[in-house]
Structure 1
Amino acid sequence: MADSRATAPRLRSLDALRGFDMLWIIGLSEFFIQLAEITKIGWLQTWAVQMDHVAWEGIRIHDLIFPLFMFASGISIPYALKPKLEAGVSRASLLRTVIRRVIILIVLGILYNGGLKLVGYSEQRFASVLGQIGIAYGVAATVFLFTRSWKGRTAWCLGILIAIAVLQLLVPVPGHGAGVLTPAGSINAWFDQRFLPGRPHEWAPYDPEGVLSVISACALTLGGLLVGDYVRSWEKPSLTAASRILIAGTAVFFLGWIAWHLGYPPIKKIWTSSFNLLAGGICTWLFVVFYLLVDFRPQPNWSFFLQVVGMNSITIYLLERVVPFADISGFFLGGLASKSGHWGPLLITTGILLIEWLVLYFLWKKKTFLKV
């Protein structure tokens, strides 16, 4: 008899979590920044500070948006691949599908960075957010396909974290020495200057999606894979599963906190292992919250608004790059905004979010999803 989990429904909490994450990218962060600036309310101003990246060391809420998406990408792997394995699809065939997705995401990332401008090789940025998502997904999915046990997959995750920490803390960088975690002195910068094709982001000495950053981020996607595989092993939503994942996430977070206080700070721009641990712990907590609030309560489907975004998250990420949503919002709401005083920009931002959601709702109604 076939395993009933081979036809398991989508993990709605994962779609909602992706949608929640993507909303901050496409306008919700700006909404709160503007609201804080207008109202001058203390807690909103404190929150608005969290809507921007730290300059270098440390971690803010905005620093978690990209890691959360990568973590969610890892959770999706068992739900995408395991039913096909159980249905008898060969690992080699699935690996070809994985490689295809990696290549498409890398190409989309280059296009997102302005690849169609046809600038010279040295002026084109090849590293990208989508490329990093694709490569990390490819590594995690390959590990999932060819490493059968959770212990082996955990070993891969830990191995990456340890290897990155050793490189960043113990391997001397010519002209700087070992353990110099600065933009120019880090080993990430040394690798990017020698092995990263094209130019780095903003012509910095390193690229935040550079060679070692991508490798390091694979650990976060593998962490999501471990969570997703464990959740899927339960035939229905389980408080036991949720509590165990929560405990594991807490342990991971405190490992990162200890590393930070021992002198290995979280730095997202070079993806230190301490950052991965802190981000991984927080991402795990967020997933558990959505798991409890969404999958344990099939009705009413309060998270539908988020799921519409989450099911086409890459679509809206790309559309925001090429579609002038601000101009569209201004066309419909510009007159009202001009008569709203200092509330005008907030009205335009609200319109942007609404228009983006309506576009995604239209795609959802048409059952049109970007699958790569």
Structure 2
Amino acid sequence: MDAYRGFVMTLMAAELLNFNGLHKTFPTSSFWAFLAYQQDHVPWAGCSLHDLIQPSFSFLVGVALPYSVASQNAHGQPATAQFWRALRRSLILILLGIFLRSTHSEQTYFTFEDTLTQIGLGYPFLFLLGRTSTRTTWIAFGLILFGYWLAFILYPAGMTDFDYSAVGVPVNWPEQYTGLMAHFNKNSNLAWAFDRWFLNLFPRESPFLFNGGGYATLSFIPTLGTMLLGLQAGRWLRSGLSSSDVLKRFLMAGGIGLATGVLLHVAGICPIVKRIWTPAWVLFSGGWCFWLLALFYYVIDVAGRRGWAFPLVVVGMNSIAIYCLVHLIDRFIINSLYTHLGHGPFQIFGPAYEQLLMGAVTLGIFYFILRWMYRRKLFIRI
């Protein structure tokens, strides 16, 4: 679990390698085109490797919950105290997400689509459902997905005279849908309408009109569905099942999730869109999360090949630390390296590769910070 978490956090930090810049420099290179695509979010529907970072992180929060509850029970903590701890964790995650999104603003930037904030908004509900039966959890999962889908469908889709250019959507944008899936179009859906009201309740430099990426506060509701999938995975891991049975369940759940998500998209019922966390996205990305967890579980726990994963474990055991480091001091490190070393050392392979080398050095510095913390058993927990 720590290795999987370290893998996704490394993918997040690896944005510093700037594969997109190399793709622009070498537009005919299929190699850089592939890496650039996998290191960025798709415009709307679909999925890249980068799109799996947030669902994986959310999924692993669910996987960890049964272990956390068992540990607290073993220490004799009553359920009420555990719930208040969950609420405290939720509040810290929400505020930390807002803080990190505000670091380059003139005032507090109240936004709730950050990964930490989204997890924080759903965490108390995850905790409560984590204390129920498996049957209740699956019923809640189904109600969340169906209810979220139905709410979008009941909200009027953008009419033919809707001015999409006023909400940051280009004219004739190829990602626009018609029919039933038009209810999930960018910045003309239920979640966008909610944020037009909700986000303007907070102090802002200017009124909120739309999110440029189409991200939305209400995504925390289906994100809870992703965390519930992780909760079930954690229950299977702690159930006493044989490793082969656990793997079979992971692979089967992953296959069902992927197939169902694709079917909903192809049938025109619900698109696979991460930015508003559609139900089809919950199923599709959840399928990948089950398969990725199965891969790490098999290689590390079943096959016993642990040595190679140590760097990932170092990162994964301090996931909050690396998340904050990347958001807070990446530019400080880069500017400091340029101040004291200049550009020359980072152009040894040519100017085109300067950002790649600088990103690699910055990632190395982050890793040594985390390694230092790991050796001294300094782990940031919320």
Q: What TM-score does the superposition give when structure 2 sets the normalisation length?
A: 0.84
Hey, what's the Cα distance between the residues in 1 that align with 2:359 and 2:104? 28
Whether the aligned pair in 2 keeps the contact of 1:183 and 1:205 (CA below 8 Å) is no
Aligned to 2:368: 358
Aligned to 1:242: 247
CA deviation map 1:55-105 (0-9, x unaligned): 122222221111111111111111111232255321111101100000111
Aligned to 2:257: 252
Structure 1's 44 and 126: CA in aligned 2 closer, same or farther, altered over 3 A?
closer
Q: Which consecutive residues of structure 2, in runs of 5 or more, have no partner in the other structure? A: 163-178
Aligned to 1:19: 6
Aligned to 1:158: 142
Structure 1's 304 and 204: CA in aligned 2 closer, same or farther, altered over 3 A?
farther
Whether the aligned pair in 2 keeps the contact of 1:15 and 1:306 (CA below 8 Å) is yes
Segment drifting more, 111-120 vs 281-290: 111-120
- Aligned residues: CA RMSD: 2.8
CA deviation map 1:134-190 (0-9, x unaligned): 222332122113x1x111111111111111111112343696797522223211111
Q: Tell whether 2:229 aligns with 1:223.
A: yes
Structure 1's 97 and 193: CA in aligned 2 closer, same or farther, altered over 3 A?
same
Number of equivalences = 354
CA deviation map 1:228-281 (0-9, x unaligned): 11111127x601111122111111111111100111211111111011111000
Hey, what's the Cα distance between the residues in 2 that align with 1:217 and 1:92? 25
Quick one: which amino acid aligns to residue 83 of structure 2? L
Aligned to 2:130: 144
Q: Which consecutive residues of structure 1, in runs of 5 or more, have no partner in the other structure? A: 1-13
Matches within 5 A, 1:37-186: 41-114=29-102, 119=107, 124-145=110-131, 147=132, 149-172=133-156, 179-186=182-189
Report the 3-state secondary structure (helix = DSSP H, G, I; strand = E; otherwise coil) of the residue aligned with 1:259. helix
Quick one: which amino acid aligns to residue 205 of structure 1? F
Hey, what's the Cα distance between the residues in 2 that align with 1:53 and 1:191? 23
Structure 1's 137 and 185: CA in aligned 2 closer, same or farther, altered over 3 A?
same
Segment drifting more, 77-86 vs 191-200: 191-200
Q: What TM-score does the superposition give when structure 1 sets the normalisation length?
A: 0.86
Structure 1's 204 and 289: CA in aligned 2 closer, same or farther, altered over 3 A?
farther
Q: Tell whether 2:355 aligns with 1:349.
A: no
Hey, what's the Cα distance between the residues in 1 that align with 2:91 and 2:17? 32
Hey, what's the Cα distance between the residues in 2 that align with 1:132 and 1:239? 33
Quick one: which amino acid aligns to residue 196 of structure 2? Q
Segment drifting more, 282-291 vs 173-182: 173-182
Whether the aligned pair in 2 keeps the contact of 1:110 and 1:127 (CA below 8 Å) is no
Aligned to 1:5: none
Structure 1's 61 and 248: CA in aligned 2 closer, same or farther, altered over 3 A?
same
Segment drifting more, 238-247 vs 354-363: 238-247
Aligned to 1:7: none
